[in-house]
Amino acid sequence: MSLHIYDTSTRAIREFVPVEAGRASIYLCGATVQAPPHIGHIRSGVNFDVLRRWLMRSGYDVAFCRNVTDIDDKIIRVSAEESVPWFVVAERNQRAFTWAYDTLGCLPPTVEPRATGHVPEMITLMERLIERGHAYASGGDVYFDVRSYADRYGSLSNQKLDNMRAAADTDDESCKRDPRDFALWKGEKPGEPTWPTPWGPGRPGWHLECSAMATKYLGPTFDIHGGGIDLIFPHHENEIAQSQAAGDGFARNWMHNGMLKIGAEKMSKSLGNSLLIPEMVQKVRPVELRYYLAGPHYRSSIDYSEEALLEAAAAYQRIEGFVTRAAEVIHDVDADAPLPQAFADALDDDLGTPQALAVVHEVVREGNVALSRGDKEAVARLLAETQNMLDVLGLDPRSPQWRGAGSDLTPVVDALVAVALEQRKAARERKDYAAADAIRNQLAAAGITVEDTPNGARWELSR
């Protein structure tokens, strides 16, 4: 079976056939950096990181472009409220997003362009649209003429043009030919940043920038455009219109992840303040938070609750426990071991992570049985399968990401704990259980949990 994905534009699951054999190109709408990220923002990053990893595991050379919208009405509003330059707001929050992506184990993008660095490409795109009769300049602004594209506008969101509301992206609608025309470029306003163009100084419209950046780095036609389901209209609808009206094929497939909600409400800045990433990784470890976000199917909505978060953390700990115990018996893991067919089939079926994780848990159960029997051959095979599956999902507890590469104190702690465990072992052998328990309690007070196993005592940091 080859990869099949749900394409929003056709509302059907389609086989993934890349523009260029052996290569996959993905554009993901990244952050609009007016505020730091909550888990609703980072869910998209995790979902598409799993897609990218699966494509890589399937043999594709993946080009992954994730943009940063660093100029926007909201950014300008925050800068005014805080009395700081707009670029201070953008830089501060971009760093917060980068930290969050890194903390949750997302691979760095191949390229991460900023909107403000691509004004020349936007000017070129607007010139092409004006020449083709799909855009016009008016009062220092430049607008896309939706009536010029009326036969196709609305195809992604499955809407009819006559039923759409006004774009509501300008203070003066009288400068538009149609209220639904959307701004490609916004003319200069007092106190706002500007860039020069043939139509006067101003700043980019939100939709224009993504088309310019996607085609610059991935070409006029590329494989997958991703983002949250809330971006389908108007953002992605407008991207398609302006790109294809200019003559580009643009994205062949559109993938959208579901929203994260609290009760019946979509996650928003006001609701999400308590769920910012730094606060969330105090409740559970980053790898456990990634498990929570990656576990549900990417197109489903997640109704957040702390109970569900802790259940996900406990589920991950069961997987981690097997990997840790098995690795004490099997020191060399076969990184090239084949993945279970059911796992591969699950991910090939529209990135079915719930079914894929069910396979992981089944293999872990088999592995625990093999450990209890002392069947090293079976343990070696099942550990390799488990770690290889977890690697695809970005969840391998033995990967450098989660072990703290470059600052791993395990050898140091090992040496210190070994002395205490030897003392505890001697106390147990002379049946001085009070002394043995006292040593164990001292280790616990230091944040180290001791577990007695058939292979001797083992330790781990307390959770």
Q: Is 59 left (phi over 0), alpha (psi -120 to 50) or beta?
A: left
- Give 84's DSSP letter: S
Predicted confidence at residue 384, as pLDDT, reads 97
- Binned at pLDDT 50, 70 and 90, residue 331 comes out as confident
- Binned at pLDDT 50, 70 and 90, residue 462 comes out as low
Are the CB atoms for 242 and 282 separated by under 8 Å? no
List, in order of start, the domains of the chain with CATH numbers: 4-257 (3.40.50.620), 282-403 (1.20.120.640), 410-461 (no CATH)
Higher pLDDT, 94 or 455: 94
d(CA 233, CA 154): 8
pLDDT digits (tens, 9 = 90+) for 63-110: 999 999 999 999 999 999 999 999 999 999 999 999 999 999 999 999
Predicted confidence at residue 88, as pLDDT, reads 97
Predicted confidence at residue 174, as pLDDT, reads 86
- Binned at pLDDT 50, 70 and 90, residue 434 comes out as confident
Total number of residues shown for the chain: 463
Burial of 133 (0-12, 13-18, 19+ CB in 10 A): exposed
Q: Is the pLDDT of residue 300 over 60?
A: yes
Residue type present at position 30: G
d(CA 357, CA 359): 5
Predicted confidence at residue 407, as pLDDT, reads 44
Torsion sign (Cα): 206, 208, 209, 213: positive
In this prediction, residues 146-173 reach a mean pLDDT of: 91
- Tell me the backbone φ, ψ of residue 133, rounded to 5 degrees: 80, 20
d(CA 216, CA 445): 56
Q: Is the pLDDT of residue 456 over 80?
A: no
pLDDT digits (tens, 9 = 90+) for 211-230: 999 999 999 999 999 999 99
Predicted confidence at residue 149, as pLDDT, reads 96
Residue type present at position 460: E
Q: Is the pLDDT of residue 406 over 60?
A: no
- Binned at pLDDT 50, 70 and 90, residue 421 comes out as confident
CB atoms under 10 Å from CB of 302, counted, come to 21
d(CA 392, CA 339): 10
pLDDT digits (tens, 9 = 90+) for 33-48: 999 999 999 999 999 9
In this prediction, residues 139-148 reach a mean pLDDT of: 96
Predicted confidence at residue 426, as pLDDT, reads 81
Predicted confidence at residue 71, as pLDDT, reads 96
pLDDT digits (tens, 9 = 90+) for 180-219: 999 999 999 999 999 999 999 999 998 999 999 999 999 9
CA-closest candidate to residue 457, choices 416, 420, 421: 421
Predicted confidence at residue 295, as pLDDT, reads 98
Q: Please state, rounded to an integer, the average pLDDT across all residues of the chain.
A: 92
Q: Is the pLDDT of residue 27 over 70?
A: yes
Higher pLDDT, 220 or 447: 220
In this prediction, residues 302-309 reach a mean pLDDT of: 95
Higher pLDDT, 172 or 222: 222
pLDDT digits (tens, 9 = 90+) for 342-387: 999 999 999 999 999 999 999 999 999 999 999 999 999 999 999 9
Are the CB atoms for 50 and 353 separated by under 8 Å? yes
pLDDT digits (tens, 9 = 90+) for 226-260: 999 999 999 999 999 999 999 999 999 999 999 99
Q: Which residues contact 114 (CB under 8 A, 6 or more apart)?
A: 67, 68, 70, 94
Predicted confidence at residue 405, as pLDDT, reads 42
CA-closest candidate to residue 81, choices 89, 71, 72, 91: 89
Q: b vs e for 252-288, b when ≥16 Cβ sit within 10 Å of the residue's Cβ?
A: bbbbbbbbbbbeeeebeeebbeebbbeebbeebbbbb
